[in-house]
Each structure stands twice: as structure tokens, then as C-alpha cells.
Chain A
């Protein structure tokens, strides 16, 4: 087995963590941990959009660059890869059964999420409960639940079409505002409660928090790019909601 394969394998493991909502430093740590006792020197530089890694052996340096384009939140994969990397780091180079680990990583990467219906249902539960925490009344619970479940269906559909997050957020939040208006017009729940509750599932919560976390860790480039990601999401959500509410106001509806 050669060092190129080791490097490739470790970078794919790091990429899996980054693509599925793991932190930047965890991805860096994973690659370094996996290779530390197998090569002379390993250096990595990970940003939210790409991984640079190089190893040095007998004075020869090998480097690889990997772009990371899609981002998702699938914490199960982060946990599985984390576990795999810890076991891998304990293996020594002589006794390592490389193909076993490679198969395991491929299997992890192809794992699916919970079933669609379950995810839609819990999106509704999460949104309606968050709405309750953010100050809605119990009257908003059912309409928020309905809005969020339909919203989740729409988001999943458009994600399947590989539209950008920006567009998905605009369409989704516009739809949430539309349903909020419909419900509040017939006096089922309040407008603000329904909108704030149901857009919770779109909000860039992970990005905002990871941005500040990266900044404190000293990963300044990651912090800036995650901050931009969070800002873009917030703007697109507000644009979608603002668009619908504005039209409603102009044609003479009450807000």
C-alpha cells in the first residue's frame, strides 16, 4: 500500500465530515489523526469550501486539493466517520487492513437519512415547538405545524432539483408568509407567530454558531465564509417574506 492511497482516504474522510455539518477543525483533526503515525509529517488546511492536505515522506512531499461544493446536515455520518477515524488512527502501517476501512467509508458515504415522512413530521414538530419558545401562543401551534410540514416538502423537492440554497430560501419563506397570511386572515393563529415559527427550519443557525466558533478557534477564513453563508440565508429568507407581505399590503390587506 502506498502513501497516495492513505492521503486520498484520509481526505475523503475529512470531506465527508465537512459536507455533513461537521466543524472545520474536526475535519482538520480527523485527517491529521488518521495519518499522524503513518507518515513523517502531515499538514492540512481546511476551509468550508475546500480541503488542502499534504504529507511528507523520505523528503518527498505529496499534496492534494479537494473542493467541497455541497453542504448538508447529516450528523449520523459525522459520528460514524469520527468513530472510524479513531479506530484507524490506532492501526500501525504494517498490520493495517486498508481495504476493510475503505469499504466502510464508502458504505458510510452512501447511507441515507430518516424516511421522508418522519423528517417532514418532525420538521413540523420542531418548528411549532420552537415557535412556542419564541413567544407564540398555543393557538399558533397547529397552523405552524401545517405550514412547516408543507414547507419541508417543498424544500426537499427543490433540493432534489439541486437549486441553490438562496433560491430555495426565497421560495420557501415566501410560501411560509403566504400560508401565514391565509391562516391569520381566517383568524387561525397570528401572522408573526406562524411565520417566525415555520421559518425556523430554514434559518442558518448552524452557520452562525459555527462562524463564531471558528473565529474564536482562529480559523478566520472559515469564520468569514460561514458568516457570509449565514448572512446570505438570512437575507434571502427576509426577501421572500418581505416580498409577499409587501404585495399583500399594497393590494390593501391588513398586516
Chain B
């Protein structure tokens, strides 16, 4: 569990480097990735659904992003994009197209629905945070 959270931190910080995030924001965005992944693991323990877990994780990452954006005066995106990359259904979308190539249509359909569900869960979690943050700022 702790090992997984540590890898969540490493993955997010690594992507932050790739996306050229300013140096003083890299550790912070790694932290928000770690918190998001902790939320993911927690939900998977209580209720093993990838979509629900992804929703909670992106909610956490969004909240962390808003807090850090306020403190560091950077746009929220800087903390959010590296954080959500490990959540993005890359493996699922890859498996979907691979199943199509192999002619396994039924499996492709299932995987495709899962992919869309996860992408929507990420967006819903982020939108939740962004909408509330806008109200609070007024």
C-alpha cells in the first residue's frame, strides 16, 4: 500500500518533469498525485469498482490542485494534469483497440465502455471541484 502510494508520487513527479512544470511545483504536484492514488486504493478496498475509485481519486487531485494553486499562484492545470495521468484509462483504451484488431468485438465493447466510464469519472471529479472552487472564490 505504502509502496503503491510512493509509486503514485514518482509517476506524477516524473510526468511533471515531462510536461515542463516549474521546478518549485514538481514536488507539490507529485504530492497531489500520491494523495489521489491513496484515495483510489482506499475506494478499491471498500468497493472494488475502477470507475468509483477513479472518481474519488480525481476529486482528491482536483481539491489538492485548487489548494496549491491558491497558495503558489499557478494555474490549477499545472498540478492537475500530471496527477491524473496515472488514472487516465490508457491501458484500457490500448486493450480495447487491440481487441478490435484481434476481432474480439464483444470484449472490445466491454473494454470500450469501461474506458469511456473512467474518462467520464475523471472529468466529473474535476468538474465537481472546479465548480465549487468558482463559487467559493466569489
Residue ranges of A at the interface with B (Cβ–Cβ < 8 Å): 21-23, 26, 73-79, 82-83, 113-114, 118-119, 122-127, 129-130, 132-134, 196, 199-201, 203-206, 208-209, 211-213, 215-216, 230, 234-235, 237-239, 241-242
Q: Taking CB as reference atom, which chain A residue is nearest B93?
A: A234
B residues neighboring A (CB under 8 Å) = 3-4, 7-8, 10-11, 13-15, 17-22, 25, 37, 73-75, 77-78, 81, 84-86, 88-91, 93-94, 96-98, 100-102, 119-120, 122-123, 126-127
| B14 x A122 contact (CB < 8 A) | yes
- A230: chain B residues at CB < 8 Å are 93
Which residues of the partner chain B approach A75 to less than 8 Å between Cβ atoms? 19-22, 77-78, 81
Chain A: minimal CB distance from B16 (Å): 8
Verify B78–A79 contact, CB threshold 8 A.
yes
Chain A residue, CB-CB nearest to B120: A212
Q: In the bound complex, do residue A196 and residue B94 qualify as a contact, i.e. CB atoms below 8 Å apart?
A: yes
Taken together as a complex, chains A and B put the C-alpha atoms of A232 and B132 apart, in Å, by 33
Q: Are A209 and B21 in contact (CB under 8 A)?
A: no
Determine whether the beta carbon of A212 is less than 8 Å from that of B122.
yes
Given contacts A114-B17, A125-B14, A126-B15, 16 further A-B contacts (CB under 8 A): A21-B81, A73-B18, A74-B19, A75-B19, A75-B21, A76-B22, A79-B75, A119-B17, A122-B18, A125-B10, A126-B10, A126-B13, A203-B90, A205-B88, A213-B123, A237-B94
- Inter-chain contacts of A26 with B (CB < 8 A): 75, 77
Q: CB distance B18 to A119 under 8 Å?
A: yes
Instruction: Report A-chain residues with C-beta under 8 Å of the C-beta of B93.
Output: 203, 208, 230, 234
Report whether B85 and A200 are in contact in the complex, using a CB–CB cutoff of 8 Å.
yes
Chain A residues whose C-beta falls within 8 Å of the C-beta of B14 in the assembled complex: 122-127, 129
The answer to whether B73 touches A209, judged by C-beta atoms less than 8 angstroms apart, is: no
Partner of A23, one of B11, B77, B88, B119: B77
Q: Are B15 and A76 interface neighbours, CB within 8 A?
A: no
Contact of B126 with A133 in the complex, beta carbons under 8 Å? no
